[in-house]
Amino acid sequence: MYSRQRGLRWCEPALFVVEPTKYRQGFITTGITGNYSIILQINRPYITRLSYKLFNMLSISAALSLLSMVPAIRASPVQRCTGTISSLGDVADAVKCTTINIESFTVPAGETFSISAPDGATINVKGQVTFGVKAWSGPLFELSGKGITFNGNGYTFNGQGQEYWDGLGSSGSTKPHPMMKIKSSGTFTNLIVKNSPQQCFSIGNDATLTISKVIVDNSDGNNSNSKSGGKPAGHNTDGFDVSASDVTIEDSTVSNQDDCIAINKGSNIIFKGNSCTGGHGISIGSISSGVTVSSVQILNNVVKNNQNGLRIKTDASATGSTVSGVTYSGNTVTGATKYGVIIDQSYPSTLGTPGKNVKISDITFSGTNTVSVASGAKEVEVNCGDCSGTWNWSGLKVSGGSAGSSNYKSISGFSI
């Protein structure tokens, strides 16, 4: 707020009475004392005049009550302007605007590119963003705000993971993770994320979020380097780690060395029409203590040359958690090298002694799910500690390896 002359001299609210007056302008000037004036911006088609009255005409409580009638007055309103980010120093001013353009630049090593966008903002990527290299915890990028429209326009965020990778992931040298921390709601689309040092996306939105047409490309991590001892250099490079509700991830591609998606908690989660190559497959979990996963749909995805195709894993030591209402439909798995479908309650062991304090129920294969594994792999393994209900698996077709086994007998429409 500004005055007509040398600045605003603030008066006690008790000195004002309210006189509604309609104007065409978006701003109004009202007298206070002498030559001083106040300009108020409000989000209505009318504005309100505040007139000075002698203090003895109104009690403090009455004046405050009248002042409360003035709607939606903000000292620092968001502006309908376009802000441009071409360095971290531009962010503070850019986020005052409802349109934010990100130009090509390099984020200094050891710093987070953080955007706390105004509600309803549109963010457009206009060039490649490269993140400097430093051993630190991260994250590299963070986005928050409600109802945000984020459009990557096919540009790349490059995490330079090849400079960190040592074949050990989180067990090796310090690497910034996640690369992309998304806390916003709205839409997030059409971005390439290349060479994340460790986990790529962490999803923690507090309202509905749809992610689409995103490419996670950690394929360079399939090669060894001087630090990886002949093993693939990339490790723990999860595509999407989801710990939120009301999330849809669709029409996206992940090439990596860990889970394509790991759903750790949340409800109303849809993963559909995606492609997963070279990693550990589509996973729910690992499930730790005190969390709920429910109403999950895994639909029409292609999982190629992963260790696992479709997996649910719960910690053997976890307590007080539930996994329920998971539906697989229309998925195609080819070339799985370990397991086509695996449900295992003994994590971090594989097919060890299952824990008994995480409840799994209502796991369904509907439509047609085609799972083909490598010759030395298991088609299906079910290792339950606390599973319940009858599971309809009539929509599952498997081939290519040995059958596997199940210690849970209430599966209908499919035999192991």
Sequential DSSP letters for 46-115: SEEEEEE--GGGS-HHHHHHHHTTS-SB-SSPPEEEEEEESSGGGHHHHTTEEEEEE-SEEEPTT--EEE
Angle at 372 (CA atoms; ends 368, 373), nearest 5 degrees: 150
State the virtual CA torsion across 239, 245, 251, 255 in degrees, nearest 10.
10
Q: How many other CB atoms are found less than 10 A from the CB of residue 288?
A: 17
Active site residue 177: no
Do 379 and 402 contact (CB within 8 A), yes or no? yes
CA 238 to chain centre: 13
3-state secondary structure 100-130: EEECCEEECCCCCEEEECCCCCEEEECCCEE
d(CA 200, CA 242): 11
The residue from 265, 272, 280, 313 that is catalytic is 280
Distance CA 143, CA 120 (A): 13
Using CA atoms, how far apart are residues 264 and 229, in angstroms rounded to an integer? 31
Provide the residue count of the chain.
416
Residue closest to 356 by CA, chosen among 397, 402, 319: 319
Contact call for residues 67 and 92 (beta carbons, < 8 A): no
CB–CB of 166/173 below 8 Å?
A: yes
CB atoms within 10 A of CB 84: 16
SS3 category, 329 = strand
| CA gap 304, 239 in Å, rounded | 15
Sequence-distant (6+) residues with CB within 8 A of 165 are 197, 221, 225, 227, 228, 233, 234, 235
The closest of 97, 130, 136 to 116, measured between CA atoms, is 97
Q: What is the DSSP letter of 266?
A: E
As annotated, the active-site residues are 280
